[in-house]
Amino acid sequence: MSTASPDKPKPAISRGEVYRQARIWHGYLSAIAFLALMFFAVTGILLNHPGWPEVTQPAPVETRLTLSAADLAAVKAAAEPGVVLVKIASGQTDLAGAFKEGEAVGDDLFVRMQGVRGSSDLRANLQTGEVEVLVERNHPVAIFNGLHRGEQAGAAWRFLIDAFGVVLIVLSLIGYVLFLSLRFRLKTALALTAASLIVMVGVFLAAVN
């Protein structure tokens, strides 16, 4: 007399449901990452070809300011005089960039500002209160390239770059899982992955020599 074998327990989530959810999330993440992907793709091409397009940088703008007695006293008394000078000067003229460094040399205070919009150099005489300001603004193409690099952008933009980087990694992994789910294309997918890896490693080795 034969005994019936016990039924195998069904998985909590079927493979079909996993692939269905993957397709859904791949669609959502594609919509979220579309503009970021296009932006970094275009600016990546521009960075790789600095001459595209041919642009003329705006001419530097020089400005002279005179600090009031109260402002000059505030700069002298501050623990970070460069930061205070930038705050005061920004209320009198349009500056580009964010505070990077400041240094006092004798009676002069030098301040450097940098950002994706451009840079500003300030030189203040701590005796007379006279301030020389030189502002160099970037062309829009240079601004976009600066946003791509992110090193001179604000904390919020750098966080956004990290967030979109994570989204694109997850998007790529989900897309690869979906491609591998098509069994009749598994060999093709693996062959393309191997070929891509070989090309990238070969170009990398040639570039670092």
Name the more confident of 130 and 17. 130
| Crossing angle for the helix pair 15-48 and 155-181, to the nearest 10 degrees | 130
Spatial contact of 89 and 110, defined as CB atoms under 8 Å apart: no
State the pLDDT at residue 7: 60
What are the strands of the beta sheet with 108-115, ordered from one edge?
61-66, 130-137, 118-125, 108-115, 98-105
Average pLDDT over residues 165-191: 82
pLDDT for residue 95 is more than 80:
yes
Name the more confident of 188 and 27. 27
pLDDT for residue 184 is more than 80:
no
CA distances from 102 to 94, 124, 140, 207 (A): 19, 11, 27, 38
Helices (DSSP H) in 56-154: which residue ranges?
69-77, 81-90, 140-149
State the pLDDT at residue 176: 81
What are the beta bridge partners of residue 112? 101, 121
State the pLDDT at residue 6: 57
Name the more confident of 169 and 183. 169
State the pLDDT at residue 14: 76
Name the more confident of 140 and 1. 140
Average pLDDT over residues 45-66: 88
Other CB atoms closer than 10 Å to residue 58's CB: what's the count? 13
User: What is the per-residue pLDDT across 105-164, written as a single tens digit (0 to 9) for each?
Assistant: 999 999 999 999 999 999 999 999 999 999 999 998 988 989 998 888 888 899 999 999
